[in-house]
Structure 1
């Protein structure tokens, strides 16, 4: 649906530009935006490679394993059935740990595996379980210790201090995760 909306907006804009005799301005704007997009992507690519390397070092050094040790007992308290299933818990810990370290590409396969494992132990196969809903909230509102994507975009856009977002990101994502978990726990008693 969103594709149709964007197509409509772009089409109407181009049509209005042509009807009002400003087609040359539209052409110049399209060329300028494509040039700036390519420049941003090239800048972003370098910074993202740097952060992916740093995150790989954190993973190889065992930092992500230490985070996983901290997360396991917390998740066992929050989850009903999923906290008792080692396969679900293991993939969930890896997903959340990867997200916390800014490795969202690495987190995606673990998230899919977690949902498969949670579906396997789900009693109502046609309805998402409380643990599935809680996992989705934790995945979406995951605490970001290193928000690599935002830092990379800020660096590519020429920020003087792209890393200054780290503390506000930790605070904001922690608040979001807490509110999400509380809402899930309150709502699971009613639905």
Structure 2
């Protein structure tokens, strides 16, 4: 899907430049932006290596596991349908802790494992459960207390205060998380999104037609 999106943007730029007689400017801008992208990418190497190394130390020292245990009570609120002593809770909390600390490499396998375990608890294998949707929202909203990538971009572009966006980044992620969870809770209560009610209704009709 993204490939088609980028192709559409490129074709739109080329057609617009051709119609306006500015095709040479479009070509020049494309090469300039390609050079800028390489410059930014090389500038990110140092800052990303530093933060990833720092976060790896946090992971190896057990900080991620400590944070996961501290956040365990929150799981009862976010995932009320999952037994509190189920192993999937540990996978979820470890994934979220790694994501919040910016450990995307560590968060990915933990997230896949957690989703597999959530699927094993899902009574409707062909449809995502409420817990799976909530878990996806928490990962998509992506609250990150140490946004290393954004900090690296700002440093590479010569920002005098690269850390100035940390507070607003956390606030934006928090707002996205709250809105996403509230939307999921509200939509789950609507009959049109209720699989249980729909299938229970179908079962009653089947039982009535086949006494």
Shift of 1:127: 1.2
Match of 1:178 in 2: 178
Query: Is the aligned partner of 1:147 residue 2:143?
Result: no
Task: Tell me how large the CA RMSD over aligned residues is.
Answer: 2.3
Q: What is the match of residue 78 of structure 2?
A: 78
Task: Give the Å deviation of 1:12.
Answer: 4.7
Q: Which residue matches 2:13?
A: 13
Relative to structure 2, which stretch is displaced further, 88-97 or 7-16?
7-16
Contact 1:40 1:157 in 2 (8 A): yes
SS in 2 for 1:169: helix
Instruction: Give aligned pairs, total.
Output: 191
* 3-state SS of 1:170 partner: helix
Structure showing greater Rg: 2
Q: Does 1:65 align with 2:73?
A: no
- Alignment partners' CA distance in 2, 1:107 and 1:82: 21
Unmatched tracts of structure 2, length 5 or more: 195-211
Query: Is 2:26 aligned against 1:44?
Result: no
Q: Which residue of 1 aligns with 2:124?
A: 124
Match of 1:157 in 2: 157
TM-score when normalising by structure 1: 0.86
Q: Which residue of 2 aligns with 1:97?
A: 97
Q: Is the 8 A contact 1:76 1:84 kept in 2?
A: yes
1:77–1:83 contact (8 Å) kept in structure 2: no
Question: CA 1:15/1:164 → structure 2, altered by over 3 Å: closer, same or farther?
Answer: closer
Deviation, 1:17, is: 4.6
